[in-house]
């Protein structure tokens, strides 16, 4: 059993990165996630595990540093918040195109533009539909607790390496800043060059070894036939993610008449809302997508056949609702309740919305 601590979500990202044998972190300060790099700089992991921590000149540079290190077979991450992720979109598209594994953490704040430093979930589209140019997907994990901030660092890397694809932890200022009990993971040593060559030698660019051909990391292909093949290969990979790695959690759905669908911090609010509604005699359940891509289409489709209506609760103007509607089909009302601008809805507001929009007030 790992070490039990009381920690902030952002600090846990840093600690988990060190413990999972990460080779490097590259980032640029932005609220509400600056504690990630501050914690790392304070911990000085270069003395302990040899992990590199570098404050870059911008988010653009950070993500391209991640590209270079990832392409050499290293286990590397970056973190930022919404405006910084927009800047990273170029690099993220290149990482996806060159099929490089890495971990990106987005501790969301409200937009558009400079917006607010208060929490938000308005980057759902950006995260799950690509974000940068081209047909690509990220593996998107949405933690709802400080414990999951810890767990999803290693999980994100595992999935990233399994698929040779960037993984994104999509969280927000609530979970980043919140303090909770957390069981920290045990230390995993960093991979040696021999291990990297053994596991990833078919593609890594860490110097052409005598026993292999030279490797080239690129997303460029001028021949349209071959470029279409590259795209088809990517799409097949995303399909495989949908088959093999969908994660979700169901809460009190067995007897539910109505279903809430919410991710991340909204799902925490919805847990309370479920209890409050049940005290009022309304049988409500909660489905929490844990992977936002691949999206839990099948469980939502199954529940859509059993309940009378679905309320999607998000801290945005209505983004995940589109995926819920697609999964549920036109068999029942699917409504949305959201707050924006950094306002966190209360459980009571969610119950009111449920009564007004679905049960009929």
For residue 69, state whether it binds another protein (rule: CB under 8 A).
Answer: yes
Report how far residue 105's alpha carbon sits from residue 96's, in angstroms, rounded to the nearest whole number.
16
Q: Does 308 bind another protein (CB under 8 A)?
A: no
CB of 56 to another protein, least distance (A): 7
Residues near 253 by beta carbon (within 8 Å), at least 6 away in sequence = 259, 285, 286, 287, 303
77 binds another protein (CB under 8 A): no
| SS3 per residue for 138-176 | CEEECCCCHHHHHHHHHHHHHHHHHHCCEEEEEEEHHHH
The interface mask with another protein, positions 215-254, x = CB under 8 A, is xxxxxx----------------------------------
Give me the least distance between CB of 71 and another protein, in Å please. Answer: 5
Q: Does 191 bind another protein (CB under 8 A)?
A: no
Q: Which is nearer to another protein, 76 or 253 (CB)?
A: 76
Site for another protein in 86-145 (CB under 8 A): 90-91, 94, 98
Cis peptide before 77 (omega within 30 of 0): no
Closest separation in Å from C-beta 146 to another protein: 28
8 Å CB contact between 277 and 354: yes
Q: How far is CA 155 from the centre of its chain?
A: 11
Cα–Cα distance, 55 to 114 (Å, whole number)? 21
Calculate ∠ Cα 113-338-321, nearest 5°. Answer: 95
Taking alpha carbons only, the member of 1, 359, 11 closest to residue 180 is 11
Assess 54 for contact with another protein (CB under 8 A). Answer: yes
Please report whether residue 189 would count as binding another protein according to CB under 8 A.
Answer: no
Write the DSSP symbol of residue 109: B
* Residues with Cβ within 8 Å of residue 179, at least 6 apart in sequence: 6, 7, 8, 146
Q: Which two tokens stand for residue 146?
A: 């400080």
Question: Applying CB under 8 A, which part among 62-70, 112-120, 169-177, 331-339 lies near another protein?
Answer: 62-70
Per CB under 8 A, the segment of 55-63, 141-149, 171-179, 257-265 that binds another protein is 55-63
Residue 68 makes contact with another protein by CB under 8 A? yes
7 to 36: interface string for another protein, x by CB under 8 A: ----------------xx-x----------
318 counts as binding another protein under rule CB under 8 A: no
Rounded least distance, CB 60 to another protein, Å? 7
Residues interacting with another protein, by CB under 8 A? 23-24, 26, 52, 54, 56-58, 60-62, 64-72, 74, 76, 90-91, 94, 98, 204-210, 214-220
């Amino acid at each position: 059993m790992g070490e039990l601590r009381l920690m902030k979500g952002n600090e846990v990202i840093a600690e988990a990165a060190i413990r999972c044998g990460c080779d490097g972190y590259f980032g640029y300060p932005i609220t509400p996630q600056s504690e990630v790099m501050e914690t790392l700089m304070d911990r000085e992991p270069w003395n302990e595990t040899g992990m590199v921590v570098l404050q870059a000149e911008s988010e653009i540079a950070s993500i391209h540093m991640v590209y270079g290190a990832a392409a050499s077979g290293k286990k590397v991450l970056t973190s930022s918040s919404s405006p910084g992720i927009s800047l990273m979109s170029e690099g993220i598209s290149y990482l996806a195109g060159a099929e490089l594994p890495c971990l990106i953490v987005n501790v969301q704040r409200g937009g558009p533009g400079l917006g607010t430093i208060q929490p938000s979930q308005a980057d759902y589209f950006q995260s799950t539909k690509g974000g940068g140019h081209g047909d690509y997907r990220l593996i998107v994990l949405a933690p709802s607790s400080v414990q999951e901030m810890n767990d999803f660092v290693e999980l994100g890397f595992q999935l990233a390496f399994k698929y040779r694809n960037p993984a994104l932890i999509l969280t927000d200022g609530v979970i980043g800043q919140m303090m909770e009990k957390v069981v920290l993971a045990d230390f995993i040593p960093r991979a040696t060059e021999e291990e990297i060559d053994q596991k990833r030698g078919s593609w890594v660019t860490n110097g052409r070894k005598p026993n292999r051909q030279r490797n080239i990391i690129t997303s460029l292909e001028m021949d349209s036939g071959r470029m279409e093949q590259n795209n088809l290969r990517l799409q097949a990979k995303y399909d495989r993610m949908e088959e093999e790695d969908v994660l979700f959690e169901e809460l009190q759905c067995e007897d539910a008449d109505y279903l809430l669908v919410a991710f991340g911090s909204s799902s925490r609010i919805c847990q309370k809302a479920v209890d409050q509604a049940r005290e009022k005699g309304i049988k409500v359940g909660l489905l929490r997508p844990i992977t936002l891509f691949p999206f839990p289409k099948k469980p939502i489709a199954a529940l859509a056949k059993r309940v009378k209506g679905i309320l999607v609760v998000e801290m945005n103007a209505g983004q995940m609702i589109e995926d819920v509607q697609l999964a549920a089909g036109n068999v029942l009302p699917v409504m949305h309740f959201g707050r924006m601008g950094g306002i966190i809805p209360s459980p009571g507001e969610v119950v009111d919305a449920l009564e007004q929009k679905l049960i009929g007030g």
